[in-house]
Amino acid sequence: MSSLKTKILTLTTAATLTAGALLAAVPHNNHMNNHLQKMTAQLGLTDAQQAQAKAIFQGARAAAKPVRQQLHQERQALQAAIQAGKSDQEIQQMASAEGPELAQLAAIRASASAKFYSTLTADQQQKLQALHQARGQNRQQ
C-alpha cells in the first residue's frame, strides 16, 4: 500500500472513531442546550431570543441531516476504496466528491448564524463580534 493510501486510511479511521465517540458521548440536544445556555449568559438573550435561537438551530440541524447522511455514505465508500487498494487517483476523486456536501453544510451553518445574528440587539451583536474575535485570537496562539 502506498504511503498516501496509508496516511489517508489512518486519518479517515481516526476521524471516524473520534467523531463516533464524540457523537455517542454528547447527545445533540444537550449540546445545543448547553451552547444556548452559554450564549444566553454571554449575550444576555431574552426568553424570546432563546426560543428563536432554538428554532433556528433545530431547523438548521434538520436541514443538515440528509447532507450529513450523504457525507457519511461517501466516507464509508472512500474507506472501502482505501481498504480495497484502489489507485491514488480513484481515492482522490472519491475524496473530492465530499466537497459539495461540505459546502452545503457550511451554507446551512452560515444561514442559521445570519438568522440568529438578526435576532440580536446592536449591543448583543457587538458582544458576539468581540467573542468571535477573542476566540479567533485564542486559536492563533
Residue 117 has pLDDT above 50, yes or no: yes
Over the stretch 41-92, which tens digit does the pLDDT of each residue have? 999 999 999 999 999 999 999 999 999 999 999 999 999 999 999 999 999 9
What is the rounded CA–CA span in Å between residue 134 and residue 68? 29
Burial of 66 (0-12, 13-18, 19+ CB in 10 A): exposed
What is the rounded CA–CA span in Å between residue 64 and residue 69? 9
Residue 20 has pLDDT above 50, yes or no: no
User: Residue type at 66?
Assistant: P
Higher pLDDT, 33 or 57: 57
Residue 135 has pLDDT above 70, yes or no: yes
